[in-house]
Amino acid sequence: MIQLTQSEIALMRKAGALTRDALNYAETLIKPNISTLYIDNMVKKFIIDSGGIPSFLGYEGFPASICTSVNEMVVHGIPSKDVILKEGDIISIDVGVIYKGYNGDAARTFPVGKISPEKSKLIQVTRECFFEGIKHLQVGERLGKLSNAIQVHAEKNGYSVVRELVGHGIGKKMHMSPNVPNYGKETDGPIVIENTCLAIEPMINLGKRDVAMLEDGWGIVTRDHKPSAHYENTVLITKNGVEILTL
């Protein structure tokens, strides 16, 4: 974990606010019969016009500004003119923004029109997993307390937790140490210190936890093809508690 100065924290707050605004804007675009590439193009323009830089674009070769993951795709879906949203789908949108060298990162799973009750509950519980987790994110405690709380909440609702993908530290780089798993023992992980930022991102499956990578080298899907949901925020840990920078 890397401690940030107060001036760095101010920049992280701005990066977080831009990320939040871009994600909220993306939500307004979601409806049946539009392509995921359309959403990507519009959000890219929004980020740039707002004074930010889309951090995903070109990151390790990623070809777009946001990730658009539909239904059984867990994360890292590449926007495409050929992926057309339809009534009843769910779509996870992951957005990253750089502001003056500092990163914000957040994701949400949204309904496309009217969705089934089971998909709606999956989205809700995934969101709840995040908030259950951060109740246990405290200076001086093990990071594993957050990870364990996320896993417990998901599994008591009958869902499974993706293990191959985890949250991460964030700051001058989008991905920094430590890893932030969404599962594990309360005694796992480093001791939490103040004035650090983490991207916490439960990825929860309706079916089994097993996932596979698509041939494009990016998209991660559930092996049983059941839906998955994603909820992520960048948070700042202070001695007084947790500040959510992307909400």
- Write the pLDDT tens digit of every residue in 218-237: 999 999 999 999 999 999 99
For the chain, what are the domain ranges? 6-244
Average pLDDT over residues 134-149: 97
The pLDDT tens digits of the residues spanning 87-138 come to: 999 999 999 999 999 999 999 999 999 999 999 999 999 999 999 999 999 9
Nearest to 148 by CA among 159, 139, 136: 136
Residues present in the chain in total? 247
Cα distance from N-terminal residue to C-terminal residue, the chain = 22
Which two structure tokens, joined as six digits, stand for 82?
């050929």
Q: Pick from 182, 174, 187, 189: which is nearest to 154 by CA?
A: 182
95's enclosing H/E stretch is: strand 90-99
What's residue 137's pLDDT?
A: 97
Bridge partner residues of 53 (DSSP): 98
pLDDT at position 1 over 90: no
**Prior bond of 181 cis (ω within 30°):** no
Q: Which CATH number describes the domain made up of 6-244?
A: 3.90.230.10
